[in-house]
Structure 1
Amino acid sequence: MRSPVAHGVLREVDCTAARAVPGVVGAWSAADLPELPPVPYTLLAMLSTEEAVAGREWPALVKERVRYPGEALAVVLGEDRYRAEDGVAEVTVTIDPLPAVVTPSAALKDEVRLFDGLSNVALRGEAGEPVEESVWEEAAAVVEATYRQQLLIPSPMECRTILAVPEGDRLTVWSGHQMPHRLRRELAALLGRSTDRIRVVVPDTGGAFGSKSAAFPEFVTVAHLAVKLGRPVRWIEDRRESMLVATRGRGQDQTVRLAADADGRLLAYALSIDADVGAYPHLGAGLPMQTAWMAAGAYTTPRVHATLRSVLTNTMVTYPYRGAGRPEAAIAIERSMDLLARRLGMDPVELRRRNFIPPDAFPYETPVGRVYDSGNYAAALDLALETLDHDRWRAEQARRRKDPDAFPLGIGVSCYVERSGGETGGLHEFGSLQAGEDGQVTARCGAAPSGQGHETVFPALIAEFLGVPETQVRLVEGDTDEQPEGLGSFASRSAQIDGALFRRLADLLIDEARTRAAGLWDLPVDRTEWTDGSVHTAHDDTPLMGLGELVKHTGPLCVEDRFETGQAFPFGAHVAVVEVDVDLGTVQILRLVAVDDCGVILSPAVVHGQAYGSALQGVGQALYEGMRFDDDGVPHLAGGFLDYLLPTFTEVPPIDVKDTHTPSPNSPLGAKGAGESGCIGTPAAVVNAVADALPNVDPGLLQMPLTPDSILRALRASANEEGAR
């Protein structure tokens, strides 16, 4: 039973009639479950802090106050979903509505406080040093702008799932989840159990995009009731629930200042962030620091300063969504670069080239504290422009500007740098390789894929490392009984960290095999060699001994390790060509070129697919997606995906995916993350292209998503302003 209001005081929840519905096993409100634990918070990757959550409990079922629409008021268990739904229909509630705030600007007034006596600002942060006022005063050109990064719904193919099964003194949990070991650890703490009494299994999962790595209120409730009743309890989120109460992405109001000298050399950049983190700070209060840390982008700006306020609003919690803070950083700096180019009368491409970090400057420490590992930003941009045939499109743009009947055409560029792998303290993974008497190699690691292609990539890598057929390698993931320790799949870390882990494990297995063979043959280890999955002597005076035979002679062969890498910084350049129908306000992308550099590519097909899909999600943010709310704070979602628009097959533009290759020195394989590039690089390219197509429109009016309504409003406002002059 979910709240129909965004904010209010809960007076009563009555489950009596629900319990009388045939097939209903039980119905409870928070008052009926005083022992129900609250939702935990996480320090992982600095997503939250103890100070941010102090005094702000997130109850699994509302106790006194509703803080976002759809917050759970009661839970009903039925023998099947239909009986449970019938039970929910019989629950009655009384809520005294309160005013709701659904934007940071409204919440910052503190006129409506989500927690009595506490400010709506849950966390403050900064990166870099403040810029002296004299820098702005003496600069040849300074541009200022505000940007709104709208709230997005991650919208994975499969919504959230959990099945909790009591088995004696153990609890087995099945869930579509990105971090099974984290879920096990958090459930153990909530239930007062040791982790060895909880097993988490993650089967095939239909997408996540960052949104499935926490212990959510529903998960806490399901696990608690399964233990309480001694019966399996399952919750499968339907799409309407997911759109109402699954986590959100993005959600920032940004103010920027960018200064340059007369030659277009950047002097200073200031970014101020007011981030919408939702009703509770438990999962994403610290997430906007990712934007602050990546504020510098691809440029040698000597002074960069980013400040942030994480603001509570009456919306569902904001959490990592594909890109997780880096798209927000890229959009702010890249839109500002175009504004500065316009102010200076420069080609936006030339302005970027003039300020790129040069290849010989790496490793490069930015003023906001990131140390970029490697890069060749000009090469990526050059390839993007060459692939696009940039000069031809500029000529076409010039032709159209002379034709009053032609649709305006614009070209937009976006150059980005992102961080992959995670933050310091989370750049490692656990795993093992085990060889059997049949020669099969079982690979285990702490990852839990949700469509990244681990089943294809990892066995192929391990087979290559060991020199055995791929069919001889079996991958086991997503089971805390099979792999006792692990971190999971997030932050585009699979190739960079897990791939390197398997490289290390393969080396360990080969070393152990050589040591065992040397013992069998009574030889020094350095007299043995490994070739194509077999061990032999250096002078080939003994027959090859395969893994299976070696295990038969010497017993089980298993190696395990914890392996850690450094951070990596993928980068790229995206270019979009659009035309705008000024009568209808529609934007059509005529061409999109995405050039990404993820270092050494381990699987070209997988990387291409990731880049393509991510670019389309970037198009979604630029043109279609965004949460809209009524005056009372309830979102417009009654029509599902008719109210929240995703790009469908019809809206897929021509996308060219290309890549450059700059290996990372921080990982043994040279690989960097590849999964989030399009969400980071594409939105600014599309918005810049629309602004380029409409040079007489105030760029500040062009805020995402660029729907027909927003385009027409911008055109009318600019026409009125011109008329007033």
Structure 2
Amino acid sequence: MSGTDSAPSYIGTSVRRREDDRLLEGRGRFIADLAAGAHHVAFVRSSEAHARIERIDVAAADQLPGVLGIFTAGDLGLEGKPIPLLTRPEEEFNTATSCVLADQRLPILATDRVHYIGQPIAVVVAEDRYRAEDALETIAVDYSPLPAVTDPLAALEPDSPLLFDHLDTNEAARLEYSFGDPASATASAHRVVEGTYRMGRHGAVPLECRGVLAHFDSRRRQLEVVTSTQVPHMVRKAVCGVTGWHPQDVKVVVPDVGGGFGTKANVYSEEIVLAVLARLTGYRLVWVEDRQEHLASSAQGRDQVHRTRLAVDEGGKILAWEDDFIVDIGAGSLWVAGIVANTAIHLLGPYRVPSARIAGRAVLTNKTLVAQYRGAGRPEATFAFERSLDAAAAELGLSTAEIRRRNLLTADDMPYSRPIPYRDGVPIAYDGADYRACLESVLGALPPTDVGRCTAENPEYQIGYGLSCYLEATGRGPHETARVRLLPNGHFEVTAGAASAGQGHETVFAQVAADALAVPLDTVHYVASDTERLHEGVGTFASRSAILSGSAIHQAATDLIDLAVTKAQSVLSAGRVSYVAGRFTASDRSLDWRELASAQSVGGNQEGGGAIDVTAVFRPPTVTWTMGVHAVILGVHRRTGIVKILHYAVSHEGGREINPKIVEGQVIGGVAQGLGGALFEQWGYSHTGQPLSTTFAAYHLPLSTDVPRITVNHLHVDTPVNPIGVRGAGESGTIAVYAAVAAGVDDALGNGFHINSTPIDTGTLCRALAGTEVLL
């Protein structure tokens, strides 16, 4: 028996983050902090976007003092071995959407051909970083250039140069689905608006770049890889898949990670190469990415083009929605299935859509690889749909709020089924409460009438108001794991398969465990996951950690109580024991966790009784859905065209908040990243594939002065999908920002101005303000 009647509830409480003191005082342990005594690794990277490798001359580098070795794919046994894909949709989704994936073969180290500037070709090991980088400058690589492909639309033409010899096209994936009768609905519609919408290439740019530390322990015959990743178990799986090593022989550890946002939810060549090198050489090796490497070589995101058609009746109600989109994945993506599928699913939005046709393709080009970046297809889908709604509203003379009010799902619609399955193969059914209520909530938090006040306060700006709705599937499976064990002092150690990249796992997961165990929070200690402490796991991405890891921890804690009750029965010599608020009771006798731990230890009356240690696996039946609405008031400077965000508000349907303050921080941080993508950030490429954004002088990030105070309203909605009632929020802040800001700029400029691409070009705004003809 168990109970928690008199125990405090920690879920729902904004307890102070445990990590903060350690990190703010400089006591964090990041990859670079662990590098003392290690030899340094540097990578020879391609200086050509597309070329054949004719010769690699390492003779001069090999003679330099302090250089310990130079290795190519052939030297490491990696020639012809690609990095395996990280995800594939279930067969039910493939069948429903005619989803097909090409056979991508992303080389770990390029051997005969390079496909983007920054692609790793060879690796140098030296006594220190300075000697390693000096050696790089003496290595000569001779290339025979090939035509570069940088335009994804041109890459699909029959006469386009092909990136890979084993493929007969540059198409990496495709899918299509439809329902209803969009052709007939469009033919009978009162208004049909068509558009082409683009979202530029940008990405995470975390505070800490990537890094890997690898060492082979000859005593244990085990390789240890310490890597700045969000997915340690995927890294181990990739290393073992490439090398054939047994998973027990590889331990992947995650130190403190200075931000991930998806770019570190990937498996990289550098992780596999250092693992192989450490075992081959016996050296303790470290590689820490510098910022220029990161901007050229780490996985990027977004980069989509959508060609849309939205049909509405005279009242603005949606009749049909069509979108044909293209995702530019550069030279490849291990997450291609997820990005394309996410985009296609979320293109239906939180609205009543009676008929639709959605088609999408992923395209290979001579640009850096693409991975998931906060939202992974959802912001792009939202931008296309929300901008189309705004165009329809303008055609009908409706406000942007009114056209949404007439189409948003309400309590009467819920649960709302879609005629396709989610990526997990389960039919989609939105489990929300009232999406229209989110709209009314944000309109109350930031009323359109505030535009007048802002105009008076900011005479140098033209002021505009923008809205955008979003929908997000959160808590994607297939599973996650957690472990809870009783320590000898009566405290608890908790770990989970989701690796922290700054989200507050040390705090929130302790809260979940303390709540389930009905014990004081200060007796629960969260320990970061590694693949030895927790042999199986999935990782941190896709707004899943709180849902899946939190539920796994809850389940493990519950199972731990059940196991402890059986142990307490032996200690108390009782057939029936109850558990309430940290104590095990049988009639007039009881004991607490510390006493139970003491009884199990050497010398105790249950000596040798086995550890009180539980590992649990949580498998959700399917995803749970988070919905919200963003509102913004912004100004466009009358002389320069620079956009200034004045006020911002978010209302979202979320589940139970484990730590409300951390959830609020997640949403605010997401808005900040969305503002960066909407206004500043872009990885540009020349037509020859040369990256144009390899320093912060060219890749512009938002400053603290670009982000206003943000109001966040949480509308609690229960979900039956997991035992702690949590919905994901990690990506919610980002998804709707682009469309909301674009709508605000439209409103500020007036005269039918319509933003159709991000980042929003200041020069275009200047010309519009000056009355010059603008070609969008």
Q: CA deviation at 1:129?
A: 3.1
Match of 2:27 in 1: none
Matched residue SS, 1:488:
coil
Q: Which runs of 5+ in 2 are unaligned?
A: 1-43, 422-427, 600-605
User: How far apart, in 2, do the equivalents of 1:721 and 1:430 lie?
Assistant: 52
Match of 2:70 in 1: 27
Match of 1:65 in 2: 113
Q: 1:367/1:260 Cα in 2 relative to 1: closer, same or farther (>3 Å)?
A: farther
Matched ranges for 1:326-365 at <5 A: 326-365=378-417
Match of 1:393 in 2: 451
- Over residues 90-141 of structure 1, what are the superposed CA-to-partner deviations in whole Å (9 max), with x where a residue is unaligned? 0011112222222312212242221236211121112333744221110011
Matched residue SS, 1:151:
strand
Return the match for 2:85 from 28, 37, 42: 42
TM-score by length of 2: 0.87
Aligned positions, number: 707
- Determine if the alignment matches structure 1 residue 677 to structure 2 residue 732: yes
Give the aligned residue type for 2:464.
G
Tell me how large the CA RMSD over aligned residues is. 2.4
Give the aligned residue type for 1:705.
P
Give the aligned residue type for 2:765.
I
Pick 1 or 2: higher relative contact order, CA cutoff 8 A, min separation 6. 2
- Determine if the alignment matches structure 1 residue 102 to structure 2 residue 150: yes
8 A contact 1:121–1:311 mirrored in 2: yes
Q: CA deviation at 1:187?
A: 0.7
Q: CA deviation at 1:34?
A: 5.1
- Determine if the alignment matches structure 1 residue 127 to structure 2 residue 173: no
8 A contact 2:76–2:277 mirrored in 1: no
8 A contact 1:429–1:501 mirrored in 2: yes
Give the aligned residue type for 1:598.
G
Give the aligned residue type for 1:559.
V
User: How far apart, in 2, do the equivalents of 1:30 and 1:505 lie?
Assistant: 43
Matched residue SS, 1:596:
strand
- Determine if the alignment matches structure 1 residue 616 to structure 2 residue 672: yes
- Of stretches 369-378 and 567-576 in structure 1, the one that deviates more from structure 2 is 369-378
- Determine if the alignment matches structure 1 residue 18 to structure 2 residue 68: no
8 A contact 1:143–1:340 mirrored in 2: yes
User: How far apart, in 2, do the equivalents of 1:250 and 1:721 lie?
Assistant: 23
Q: CA deviation at 1:715?
A: 5.4
- Of stretches 81-90 and 97-106 in structure 1, the one that deviates more from structure 2 is 97-106
Q: 1:550/1:285 Cα in 2 relative to 1: closer, same or farther (>3 Å)?
A: closer
8 A contact 1:145–1:336 mirrored in 2: yes
- Of stretches 327-336 and 282-291 in structure 1, the one that deviates more from structure 2 is 282-291
Return the match for 1:381 from 439, 447, 457: 439
Match of 1:322 in 2: 374
Matched residue SS, 1:174:
strand
Match of 2:689 in 1: 633
Q: 1:355/1:536 Cα in 2 relative to 1: closer, same or farther (>3 Å)?
A: same
8 A contact 2:483–2:616 mirrored in 1: yes
Matched residue SS, 2:589:
coil
Matched residue SS, 1:343:
helix
- Over residues 292-316 of structure 1, what are the superposed CA-to-partner deviations in whole Å (9 max), with x where a residue is unaligned? 0111111011112211111001111
Q: CA deviation at 1:592?
A: 0.9
- Determine if the alignment matches structure 1 residue 150 to structure 2 residue 200: yes
Return the match for 1:451 from 492, 497, 502: 502
Give the aligned residue type for 2:435.
Y
- Over residues 586-634 of structure 1, what are the superposed CA-to-partner deviations in whole Å (9 max), with x where a residue is unaligned? 1111111122222111101110111111100010111001111223211
Return the match for 2:596 from 547, 550, 554: 550
8 A contact 1:296–1:368 mirrored in 2: no
8 A contact 2:499–2:540 mirrored in 1: yes
Match of 1:578 in 2: 634
Match of 1:534 in 2: 583
Aligned residues: percent identity? 36
Matched residue SS, 2:676:
helix
8 A contact 2:233–2:531 mirrored in 1: yes
Return the match for 1:216 from 268, 275, 295: 268
Q: 1:278/1:631 Cα in 2 relative to 1: closer, same or farther (>3 Å)?
A: closer
- Over residues 143-174 of structure 1, what are the superposed CA-to-partner deviations in whole Å (9 max), with x where a residue is unaligned? 11111111113101111111110112211111
Matched residue SS, 1:544:
strand
Matched residue SS, 1:418:
strand
Q: CA deviation at 1:709?
A: 2.1
8 A contact 1:416–1:681 mirrored in 2: yes
Match of 1:663 in 2: 718
- Of stretches 82-91 and 33-42 in structure 1, the one that deviates more from structure 2 is 33-42
- Over residues 435-477 of structure 1, what are the superposed CA-to-partner deviations in whole Å (9 max), with x where a residue is unaligned? 1332111112212111010101111221122222222112123
8 A contact 2:312–2:320 mirrored in 1: yes
Matched residue SS, 1:419:
strand
Q: Which runs of 5+ in 1 are unaligned?
A: none
- Of stretches 322-331 and 218-227 in structure 1, the one that deviates more from structure 2 is 218-227
User: How far apart, in 2, do the equivalents of 1:421 and 1:441 lie?
Assistant: 26
- Determine if the alignment matches structure 1 residue 111 to structure 2 residue 166: no
Matched ranges for 1:468-479 at <5 A: 468-479=519-530
- Of stretches 358-367 and 249-258 in structure 1, the one that deviates more from structure 2 is 358-367
User: How far apart, in 1, do the equivalents of 2:241 and 2:486 lie?
Assistant: 35
Matched residue SS, 1:288:
helix
Give the aligned residue type for 1:529.
S
Q: CA deviation at 1:406?
A: 5.9
Match of 1:167 in 2: 217
User: How far apart, in 2, do the equivalents of 1:634 and 1:130 lie?
Assistant: 45
